[in-house]
């Protein structure tokens, strides 16, 4: 028994196929070209003919899908699952940020293709990481019918992987940012920056350790502010560039250039 | 010890239908590219212009890739058959083999393109060749990533005969990739 959906899509496919043949014959095709998809002779205008043939193929595929799945009929779906009634189309599972991060990764890939291969690779890494995380989130949402149990299952599986990786990446980013700041400062300035930053971190650590009653939110706020400041400074100094280095046995490059003049 | 609330059943096949529409849009994208390719090629040949430099496009690499993709269609069918029968081991082997064949196809194509040394801006033919084949490589790469994710799910025991939609959707997408490559093989490698 052919379903209504199949008849609709297949009818479209046949109509578009006929349109392709008609377009071929009215744009200079040979007698057998349009009916043999160009195997025996020319098809006329290649653009219209090719697009219409591809469209006919796609519509025929939709028709076959509709026939195979019985037009997504609720009774047929319930029968597949062995249930009296078909379940809801979607189960509410809460919000997810992975599509947003996925879009960020795809955007980074696009920017990297134009700007720099390192950014492209970074985008690929983000897309791959989001893919794994999103997959695991989807898996956890079906562990049971209890959202709390599902969230716990996900944390038990992913936290031992996420925390070491994120920790390593965080340390690497911080080291990179601080190194940009030191490289942008003068020789004496770099020593002062390292000393002051070290003293500030040390002082804050002593302060926090002396006040165990300090709320966790305050500690998190201090850490967040510090990391943000270092990252901003790192980005600004990376853009402004490194200081000029004077090598032993020779002057700076610009000095040599001036001497030539 | 508390009891676990069972998972609510989900309606089957919605994902496959959505994937069919997505795959349809990908096929139409390639339809547009092929339309441009065949149109410009026909004009060039009608004017007696050389389309590709002599010996630049060879049948053997294209044929090998076609054979690789055809084999991957069989292994993908094996995966669908395995998930229908709740045969997890064979499902994982079939999906891994399909992914490996996809990677092999990408590898062969990249090697061939490096080998022929045809710059992308040599001619309209070269630009279209790289655009079409490059787009198909992206399509296959997405399919390989999809299979990788499915393997993860299968390891977690989620791809079963009652939850086989993702495998069916991936199979539909993969068959489309094979179909698109068959047009590349005939229209570019054989017809030149």
pLDDT in tens, A180-216: 888 888 888 889 988 998 899 899 899 889 988 888 8
- Total number of domains in chain B: 1
The CATH code of the domain that includes B183 is 1.20.120.80
- A11: distance to nearest CA of chain B, Å? 17
Is the ipTM of this structure higher than 0.85? yes
**Which of B11, B20, B148 best tests the A interface by mutation, with the highest count of A CBs <10 A?**
B11
Residue B118 falls inside a structural domain: yes
pLDDT digit string (tens) for B54-68?
888 888 999 999 999
Residue B87, domain extent: 22-190
Residue B68 falls inside a structural domain: yes
| Packing angle of the helix pair B124-155, B14-46 (nearest 10 deg) | 160
Question: Which of chain A's residues have a Cβ under 8 Å away from the Cβ of B11?
Answer: 77, 86-90
Residue B17 falls inside a structural domain: no
The string over A104-136, giving b where at least 16 C-beta atoms fall within 10 Å of a residue's C-beta and e elsewhere, is ebeebbeebeeeeeebbebbeebbebbbebbbb
Residues in chain B: 192
Alpha carbons B43 and A231: distance in angstroms, whole number: 56
Residue B166 falls inside a structural domain: yes
Confidence of residue A248 (pLDDT cuts 50, 70, 90): low
- The pTM (predicted TM-score) of the whole model is 0.72
Phi/psi for A2 (5° steps) reads -85, 135
Query: Is pLDDT at B2 greater than 60 in this prediction?
Result: no
Looking at chain A, the whole-number percentage of residues with pLDDT higher than 70 is: 94
A132 and B32: CB-CB below 8 Å? no
Query: Is pLDDT at B85 greater than 80 in this prediction?
Result: yes
- B171: distance to nearest CA of chain A, Å? 13
């Amino acid at each position: 028994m052919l379903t209504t959906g199949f008849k609709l899509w297949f009818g479209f496919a046949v109509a578009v196929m006929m349109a392709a043949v008609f377009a071929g014959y009215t744009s200079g095709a040979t007698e057998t070209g349009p009916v043999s998809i160009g195997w025996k002779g020319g098809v006329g205008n290649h653009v219209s003919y090719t697009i219409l043939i591809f469209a006919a193929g796609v519509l025929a595929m939709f028709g076959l899908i509709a026939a195979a799945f019985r037009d997504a009929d609720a009774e047929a779906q319930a029968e597949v699952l062995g249930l009296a009634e078909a379940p809801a189309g979607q189960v509410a599972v809460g919000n997810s940020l992975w599509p947003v991060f996925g879009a960020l990764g795809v955007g980074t890939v696009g920017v990297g293709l134009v700007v720099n291969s390192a950014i492209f690779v970074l985008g690929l890494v983000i897309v791959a990481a989001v893919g794994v995380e999103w997959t695991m989130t989807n898996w956890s949402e079906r562990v049971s019918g209890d959202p709390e149990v599902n969230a716990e299952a996900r944390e038990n599986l992913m936290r031992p992987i996420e925390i070491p990786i994120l920790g390593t990446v965080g340390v690497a980013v911080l080291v990179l940012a601080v190194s940009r700041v030191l490289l942008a400062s003068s020789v004496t300035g770099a020593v002062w920056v390292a000393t002051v930053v070290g003293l500030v971190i040390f002082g804050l650590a002593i302060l926090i350790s002396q006040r165990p009653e300090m709320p966790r939110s305050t500690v998190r706020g201090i850490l967040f502010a510090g990391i943000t400041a270092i990252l901003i400074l790192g980005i600004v100094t990376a853009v402004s560039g490194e200081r000029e280095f004077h090598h032993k046995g020779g002057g700076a490059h610009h000095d040599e250039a001036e001497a030539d003049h | 010890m508390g009891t676990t609330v069972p998972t609510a059943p989900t309606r089957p096949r919605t994902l496959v239908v959505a994937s069919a529409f997505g795959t349809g849009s990908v096929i139409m994208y390639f339809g547009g590219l092929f339309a441009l390719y065949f149109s410009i090629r026909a004009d060039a040949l009608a004017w007696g212009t050389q389309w590709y430099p002599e010996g630049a496009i060879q049948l053997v690499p294209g044929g090998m890739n076609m054979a690789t993709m055809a084999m991957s269609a069989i292994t993908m069918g094996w995966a669908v058959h395995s998930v229908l029968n709740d045969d997890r081991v064979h499902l994982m082997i079939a999906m891994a083999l399909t992914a490996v064949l996809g990677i092999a196809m990408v590898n062969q194509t990249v090697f061939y393109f490096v080998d022929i040394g045809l710059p992308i801006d040599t001619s309209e033919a070269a630009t279209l060749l790289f655009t079409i084949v490059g787009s198909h490589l992206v399509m296959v790469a997405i399919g390989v990533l999809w299979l990788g994710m499915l393997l993860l799910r299968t390891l977690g025991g989620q791809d079963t005969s009652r939850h086989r939609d993702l495998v069916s959707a991936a199979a539909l997408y993969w068959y489309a990739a094979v179909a698109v490559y068959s047009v590349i093989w005939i229209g570019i490698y054989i017809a030149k």
